[in-house]
Structure 1
Amino acid sequence: MEENSQNWVDRLWRAFSSMKMGLALLGIVALVAGIGTLIPQTEQDPQKAQAVGQLWQTLGFTHLYSTVWFRLLLGLLCVNLIVCSIQRFGSIYRQTFKLTPPSNLAKVPKKNSRVVNGDIGTLQKSAQEFLTRKGYRVVLDEQSDQWSFIAAKRRLGYWGSFITHLSFVVLVLGALLGSILGFKGYMMEGAGTTTPIQQIELSKGKVSETFSVRINSAEDRFLSNGERDNWYTDMSILENGQEVARKTLSVNHPFEYKGVTFYQASFSNGAHFTVAMNGQKIPVVLREQGQNYFQAPGTDLYLIATSIMPSSSSQKAVALYQVYKGTGADPVQSGQLTLGQTVDVQSTYKLTLDSYAGFTGLQVKKDPGVAVIWLGCALLVGGLLLAFYWQPIVLSGILKSENNKQGTLTVGAFSGKSTSTTLEALEQFVSSVTK
C-alpha cells in the first residue's frame, strides 16, 4: 500500500515538474483569457453579457475570471511553477554557494578551453592575482601533484530564471487573493444620505465590512471661466453610528479606509422635495433625467425630475418635473418649481421643492491582492534583469606538474547564454597568465 502511494506521489511530482505540462497549462490559460477578452463580462457590461449565447453563459465565459474552473487552471499552473522551482533550487544553490574545483581534466569544460605551459609558481600566482583583481569568488584545491581552482562572478545571475518563475507564482496568488477576498461595486447616493456598505450594488465578490458611508455633500464645481473644475464628494465613514474617518474625494483623488477604496466616478444633480399627503409629510429625493421616481402611496401616480439646476449668483435652484399615470407614455402634469414653491399634483398631494442635492457616483473596490501583485511585478523585473543582464562567468582549471618547476595549466569557461562575454573573460585570463 505504501509503495503504491509512493508511486502516485512520484508520478504526480514528475508530471508537475514537466516543462511540457507548464507550457500546456500556460497555453490553455492564454487561450481561455483571450476568449474572455472577446466575450462581454458581466461586471463590465451586464446588458451585453446577457445577450451572449446561453452555452457561453453556462460555461461561465461571461464571468470568466471568477469561475471555479479558471481559478483551478491558475492553481495548477501555480503548482507546476512551484514544483519546477523546487526542483531547480538545489542546483542553483550549489552553483552559487557551493563551488567545487575540478578533480580531474574531464571536469574542465572542453568546449571553451585553453592550455598554458610555464613555470608552476608563476602560473599559479598569475592566475590567482588575475581572478582576485577581476572580482571573482575563488575556491582552490591544492594537492601534491596538481592545483585546481574554480572562479565565478555575477553568481546572482543564476537566480534570474528562478525569480522570474517565482514572480509568476506571486502574480497568480495575488490575482486569486483579490478575486476570492475582494469585491467591486457602485453606489449613487445624494447629499445627506447614509448607506451601509453592504447595500451597495456589487458586480463581483462579497462585502464582509459592516461600516456605513455618509455623503455630507456632493458638488459639481466650475471655474470662473465656466470650465468644469471637478466633482467633489465630502464623505464620512461611520462605525456604530460614530464618525471614524472623513475626507473630500474627487476624480483621481480616491479615499481608502481599511482596504476599501472609494473612487469618484460620476455625478448627477438632484433635489430634496416634501410631499404633503393625507396629513403626512413625506421626504423625497429625486435625481434629474428620471433616474429615479416617487410613487404616491395608494395611487398610480409617478413623479420624476427631468432637470434640476442648482442655484447660482443670478438665480435660485430650479427643478423641472413630470407626473405620469399608470403605464401612460405621456405625462399628465408637468411644470417648474423654485426653492420653497409648492404645487398641487393631480389634486392628490402637495409638492414642495426644499433644496438642491447633488448625487455622487462612487466606485467601491477592495482588492487585498494588489500589494502581492506589485511584489510579483517587482520580482518579475528583477528576475528578467538578472537573467538577461547579469550572466554568470565561471572559469575553472587544473595545473598539473610535469617536473618540479614546469607545469601545464588547462583552463575552461562555462558558456551559458552570453557566450561572447564568457569567451572574452577566458581570453583575458589566458593573456594575463601568459604575460
Structure 2
Amino acid sequence: MSIETRPDTPTPPATPDHPDAHDLSVVELLRRLYALFHNKRFGLLLILAMAVFTLVGVLFPQAPGETLADPAVRDAWLDTMRPRYRGWTDILTALGVFGVFGSIGFKVVTILLALSIIACTTHRLPQLWAQAMAPHVSVRDRFFDHARVRATTVVRADAAPTAALLKADLHKLHFRTIADADGTPLYADRNRFAPFGTVVAHVAFVVILAGVFVTTTFGFRADDLSVPVGSRIEVGRGTDLSIEARSFTDSYNPDGSPSDYVSDLVLYADGQQVAEQVVRVNAPLRWGGWSLHQASFGIAADLRVTDAAGAVVLDEALPLQYQLEGRYAYGKVEVPDTDLLVYLITPASGQVVPDIPAGKAQVEVYRGGTDTPVFTTVMTPGEPVDGVDLTWTFERERQYTGLMLSRDPGGPIVWTGCALLAIGTCWTMFLRHQRLWVRLEAIPQGTRVTLASPDRHDSIFARQVHSFVAGLGDTDTRKK
C-alpha cells in the first residue's frame, strides 16, 4: 500500500480543547451562509415573515414615518386612533403595529429576503447556463418509450439523407440541432434562453425590495399638514420647508358630495420661495423630489392669547381637524413658554349641540399632565375672556386646507423593478424552452425517426411535433 496505516496511533477525536473543534475558515463560513440563503425552507420562512408584516401593515392604519418620531405629533395622531381601538391603542403602539413598514424588523426581513433571492438565483444560474449552452444530448433507449411527448414515423431513405433533411427541417422551425460525429442529429431545441426569464423576474423582486428599503429608510411622509388659508406654517420634522396657502376653493355636486377642491400654494425652502402651484387632488406640487398633495379641507378657528401686559402670547389659526363622537370638531395647541394645553371646540359641520351655540366656540385649558381643565368657557367671536392670568379671544373661523407632503427616493427603483418583473413574466409565460431528443434507426423500409421530449405537457407543442413527424413520413421526395 502507498499509505501506511497504524492501528496503534488513532486520530484523536475533536474535543472542546482540540484546536480543530472551533476553527472555521472564512471561506467555510461564507459557504455555509450561502447554503442557508439558497435553502428553500429558509426562503419560505422569510416569505412568510414578509407576509405577516405586510398583512399587519394593511389591516392597521400606518402612521407616517416622521409622525412617530415627534412626540407631540405622535400623540395627536394616536388621539385619532383611540375612538377605534380604545384601550388597545397604547398596547398596539408598544407592539409597533402602527409603524410596521418603518420598523427594524421589517427592514431586516427585507434585506434577508433580497439576499435569499440573490442566493437562489446565483445557485441556479450554472444549471440554466449549462442547459442552454451544453445540454445533455445522450439518453437511453427507454427514454423514448416514456417521454411525455413522443412521435415516430418511417422515412423511406437511408440514415444519412434522412439526418440531413431532418436537420434542415428543424432549422426551418428555428430549432438548434446538436449532432454526433457523423452528423446525425441527437438533440434539438428552440428558445433556449427562455428559462432566464425567471432570473429577470428574481432580479426584479430584488430591485423592488431595494426600492422599498430605500423609501422606508430615507423617505418622508407627513399627511397631517393643515394650513389655514392666508397663513404660512413650518413643516418642521427635520426639514427646512414651509407652506403658505393663499386661497382655497371647493365645489360640490348636486347631491352635496365634493366635486373638486383646489389650493393655491407656495412652497418655501430655508425661507426662500422655491415653487408655487394651484394644487388639486390629482395634480400635486412637485419640487426637488418632494410632492405636496391635496388631501382634505375643513374649518380653522383664529385664537389670540395675550398676557396681563397685553403682549401676544399666541396668535394662531387652529385647524379643527379632529372629531369627537361625530358631534364636535376640535383642535389643540400648546401655549408657548407655559405648561398649558388648549382645546378649542365647535359643533361639527351640520351638527347642532346644546352646550355650544352656533357661531361660538368652547375653550378648555389644561395644565400639563392633568385631566381636569383649569379653565373652560364658551366664547363669542371678537369678545375677550380672562382666565388663568391670560386673555383669550376667539376671533373668527376660516377654512384650512389639509395637505400631504412626501418624498419617495425609492419610487424610481420600485418602478424599475416593476418593469423588469413585467418583462420577466412575459418572457417566462410566452417563451417556452422546447427540447427534442432524436433517434434514427435503420430498418428494411428505410429509417425510423423518433422524436421525444420530457418537458411538461404543452398541447400546442405536442401537436407541432406530431405534425412535423407525420410530414416526414408522408413525403416521398425524401426517398433516395
Shorter-normalised TM range: 0.7 to 0.9
Q: Give the letter for the 1:217 counterpart.
A: S
What's 1:79 paired with? 115
Task: After TM superposition, list the pairs within 5 Å mapping 1:60-99 onto structure 2.
Answer: 60-96=96-132, 98=133
1:237 aligns with 2:279: no
Q: Give the letter for the 1:175 counterpart.
A: V
The answer for unaligned runs of 5 or more in structure 1 is 200-206, 310-317
The two structures, once aligned, show a CA RMSD in angstroms of: 4.3
Contact 2:291 2:407 in 1 (8 A): yes
1:16 aligns with 2:61: no
What's 1:147 paired with? 184
Task: After TM superposition, list the pairs within 5 Å mapping 1:177-192 onto structure 2.
Answer: 177-185=214-222, 186-192=224-230
1:247 aligns with 2:271: no
How far 1:15 sits from its partner (Å)? 1.9
Contact 1:82 1:169 in 2 (8 A): yes
How far 1:362 sits from its partner (Å)? 0.9
Q: Give the letter for the 2:197 counterpart.
A: G
1:229 to 1:55, Cα distance in 2 relative to 1, 3 A: closer
Task: After TM superposition, list the pairs within 5 Å mapping 1:112-261 onto structure 2.
Answer: 112=147, 113-114=150-151, 116=154, 118-134=157-173, 136-141=174-179, 143-144=181-182, 146-148=183-185, 150-185=187-222, 186-199=224-237, 207=238, 209-222=239-252, 228-261=258-291
Contact 1:138 1:149 in 2 (8 A): no
How far 1:271 sits from its partner (Å)? 5.5
Question: Which TM-score applies when normalising by structure 1?
Answer: 0.75
Instruction: Report the 3-state secondary structure (helix = DSSP H, G, I; strand = E; otherwise coil) of the residue aligned with 1:198.
Output: coil
How far 1:86 sits from its partner (Å)? 0.7
How far 1:418 sits from its partner (Å)? 3.5
Contact 2:264 2:277 in 1 (8 A): yes
How far 1:321 sits from its partner (Å)? 4.1
Q: Give the letter for the 2:113 counterpart.
A: L
How far 1:324 sits from its partner (Å)? 5.9
Contact 1:160 1:384 in 2 (8 A): yes
1:350 to 1:51, Cα distance in 2 relative to 1, 3 A: closer
| 2:455 alignment partner, one of 405, 416, 434 | 416
Q: Give the distance between the partners of 1:39 and 1:167, measured in 2 at CA.
A: 28
Q: Give the letter for the 2:206 counterpart.
A: V
1:385 to 1:358, Cα distance in 2 relative to 1, 3 A: same
How far 1:319 sits from its partner (Å)? 5.4
Task: After TM superposition, list the pairs within 5 Å mapping 1:312-323 onto structure 2.
Answer: 320-322=360-362
Contact 2:386 2:392 in 1 (8 A): no
Instruction: Report the 3-state secondary structure (helix = DSSP H, G, I; strand = E; otherwise coil) of the residue aligned with 2:123.
Output: helix
Q: Give the distance between the partners of 1:283 and 1:367, measured in 2 at CA.
A: 34
1:189 to 1:126, Cα distance in 2 relative to 1, 3 A: same
Q: Give the letter for the 2:169 counterpart.
A: F
Question: Which TM-score applies when normalising by structure 2?
Answer: 0.69
1:124 to 1:301, Cα distance in 2 relative to 1, 3 A: closer
Q: Give the distance between the partners of 2:103 and 2:172, measured in 1 at CA.
A: 58
How far 1:85 sits from its partner (Å)? 0.4
Contact 2:361 2:394 in 1 (8 A): no
The answer for unaligned runs of 5 or more in structure 2 is 1-19, 65-76, 321-328, 350-357, 367-371, 476-480
1:383 aligns with 2:424: yes
Taking only the aligned residue pairs, the percentage that are identical comes to: 20
Q: Give the distance between the partners of 1:303 and 1:360, measured in 2 at CA.
A: 20
Instruction: Report the 3-state secondary structure (helix = DSSP H, G, I; strand = E; otherwise coil) of the residue aligned with 1:155.
Output: coil
Can you list the C-alpha shifts for 1:340-393, whole angstroms capped at 9, x where unaligned? xx545459869595x864211112222222233333333334433333443221
Q: Give the letter for the 2:428 counterpart.
A: A
**Between structures 1 and 2, the one with greater strand share:** 1
1:396 aligns with 2:437: yes
What's 1:314 paired with? none
How far 1:291 sits from its partner (Å)? 1.9
Contact 1:272 1:356 in 2 (8 A): yes
Can you list the C-alpha shifts for 1:257-315, whole angstroms capped at 9, x where unaligned? 22222222221223657778746577543445442469799999979473799xxxxxx
Q: Give the letter for the 1:306 counterpart.
A: T
Q: Give the letter for the 2:108 counterpart.
A: L
Q: Give the distance between the partners of 2:117 and 2:424, measured in 1 at CA.
A: 15
Task: After TM superposition, list the pairs within 5 Å mapping 1:286-325 onto structure 2.
Answer: 286-287=318-319, 289-292=329-332, 304=344, 306=346, 320-322=360-362
1:296 to 1:60, Cα distance in 2 relative to 1, 3 A: closer
1:58 to 1:131, Cα distance in 2 relative to 1, 3 A: same
